[in-house]
Amino acid sequence: MATRQSPIDYEALVKNDRIHGRVYTDPDIFEEEMTTIFHRGWVYVGHAGEIPQPGDFRVTRIGRQSVIMVRDDAGQVRLLMNRCPHRANAVCQTERGNASAFRCAYHGWTFRRNGELASVPYQDGYDASFRKEDFGLRRVPRVDSYRGFVFGSLSPAGMTLDEHLGQAKEQIDLFVEQSPQGEIKVRSGIHKYGYAANWKFQIENAMDGYHPNFVHQAFLRAIQKRTGIKVDTFSGNSIGLTRDFGNGNVMLDYRPNNKANREKMMSLLPTTAGGSDYEESLVAAYGKERAEEILIAGGTHLLVFPNLILIGVQIRVVQPLSIDQTEVFLYPTLLEGVPHELNLKRLRGHEAFYGPAGSGAPDDLEMFERNQIGLSAEVDPWLLIARGLHRERREPDGTLVGHMTDEVTQRGIWRHWKKLMTHAAGAATQPRRASGGA
């Protein structure tokens, strides 16, 4: 059977300074994204802290494929395909919970927490060739984790998770080490929202330092009115940076601003009666220099391509549904080993900006849908991502950086996207090698 020839020229659609609107509107491109990016590469699935006890599970997706993340009896986190190997029925219908076993409601096949087939009703209907060990729930071919963040790949081969994360691991460390115990809790509920636009608008926007002064004016003015402090992180005078780590992993780097404005920054961070105790606990756990680094970072503002976003206290997960339908899940995190009041402040701060009553997130969703509407006007189909191209620079650590309002991050995302999609398209045009002898 001949391999399908890809009609999509990704080199022509993504330039260094602009991208063609077709990348957001073509259903064929979306299908290839699912195959190439979400069903072949590393995808964030969930955090081990969501399932702390044996039998705890959560149903999620890798791309559009249903997966059960479960902790088995030995305490190991498993990623199991949510599909009975008998007649393909989904064995788990509940979003999250604790299960002693997974039972297919169609024909009663029952599976242990580690995915092994435990029992088959009326097994004598099968002959001696039937072996239960051959019919367990299929496991995601590759599973790995870093600091509790669990990733899966549906491809049995490819770069390691360590290679995929690269220098982004340092930012995950800063996020986790806000806890003096180096552990976060991810069991404080979820904000869920959907929007009628392409999934890539969310990952681009989350790493965009150009829009907040315009889209989130009301929120920033409210902070200034309440605190007397003008937030200029996203202004033309900001010394914050956009940073590209490679592999599509990018961030907004507030650290230069925060370091220069240490007193101002600390007044904006959660303050409680136990605040000084918290700082002392960080010093005791990590040493004075590292504790200062953690406090200045204040978490991180990071995209791990393609679907994991870490912002301040929050884990954000992007789930594409179709070319113009996307779901997003926001998980506020708590810190182990800190005063209750500090965790409470983290939650209240999260709620102030996110969720249906938040002061900021609904603004972004409106922008995404306006983007999708605007793409219907095709007289000039190109989108410009050239801001700061002339002034971006490479740091000694190899990362590319630019001004906080520059589109270094968008260019980093699209550069990696094109690399993946071009490679896949090229492979698709190669004639299939015949099987058999040489």
In this prediction, residue 437 carries a pLDDT of 34
User: Phi-psi bin for 436: left (phi > 0), alpha (psi -120 to 50), beta?
Assistant: left
Residues 376 and 240 in one domain: yes
Place of tokens 């398209």: 425
Q: Distance between CA 215 and CA 211 in Å, rounded?
A: 6
Q: pLDDT band at 429, cuts 50/70/90?
A: low
Q: Please state, for a pLDDT cut of 90, what percent of the chain lies above it.
A: 80
Residues 381 and 418 in one domain: yes
Residues 226 and 271 in one domain: yes
Tell me whether residue 106 is in a domain. Answer: yes
Condensed to tens digits (0 to 9), the pLDDT of residues 341-388 reads 999 999 998 998 887 777 888 899 999 999 999 999 999 999 999 999
Residue 357 DSSP one-character state: T
In this prediction, residue 264 carries a pLDDT of 60
Mean pLDDT of 387-404: 97
Q: pLDDT band at 104, cuts 50/70/90?
A: very high
Q: What is the pTM of this model?
A: 0.92
Residues 336 and 262 in one domain: yes
Of residues 419 and 226, more confidently modeled: 419
For 409, the domain range is: 166-423
Tell me whether residue 238 is in a domain. Answer: yes
pLDDT surpasses 70 at 146:
yes
Residues 297 and 391 in one domain: yes
Write down the mean pLDDT value for the chain: 91
Tell me whether residue 11 is in a domain. Answer: no
Tell me whether residue 365 is in a domain. Answer: yes
Say which amino acid occupies 76. Q
Domain ends where: 115, 146, 177?
146
CATH number of the structural domain spanning residue 189 = 3.90.380.10
Q: Please state, for a pLDDT cut of 70, what percent of the chain lies above it.
A: 92
- Strand order across the 393-394 sheet: 191-195, 325-332, 314-322, 308-311, 301-304, 249-253, 241-246, 400-403, 393-394
Residues 89 and 205 in one domain: no
In this prediction, residue 267 carries a pLDDT of 55
In this prediction, residue 274 carries a pLDDT of 55
Q: Which of 151-160, 343-352, 368-377, 400-409 has the lowest mean pLDDT?
A: 343-352
Residues 298 and 415 in one domain: yes
DSSP 114-142: TS-EEE-TTGGGS-TT--GGGSSPPBPSE
In this prediction, residue 420 carries a pLDDT of 97
pLDDT surpasses 80 at 432:
no
Residues 139 and 179 in one domain: no
Of residues 23 and 235, more confidently modeled: 23
Tell me whether residue 433 is in a domain. Answer: no
As given in the structure block, the two tokens for residue 25 are 């509107």
Tell me whether residue 174 is in a domain. Answer: yes
Residues 171 and 99 in one domain: no
pLDDT surpasses 70 at 131:
yes
Tell me whether residue 151 is in a domain. Answer: no
As given in the structure block, the two tokens for residue 412 are 């980093």
Domain ends where: 146, 178, 211?
146
Number of domains in the chain: 2
Q: Distance between CA 67 and CA 241 in Å, rounded?
A: 37
Enumerate residues 6+ apart whose C-beta is below 8 A from 376. none
Residues 198 and 227 in one domain: yes
Residues 176 and 129 in one domain: no
Residues 185 and 286 in one domain: yes
Highest mean pLDDT among 120-124, 224-228, 254-258: 120-124
Condensed to tens digits (0 to 9), the pLDDT of residues 168-190 reads 999 999 999 999 999 999 999 99
Condensed to tens digits (0 to 9), the pLDDT of residues 43-66 reads 999 999 999 999 999 999 999 999
Of residues 302 and 435, more confidently modeled: 302
Tell me whether residue 196 is in a domain. Answer: yes
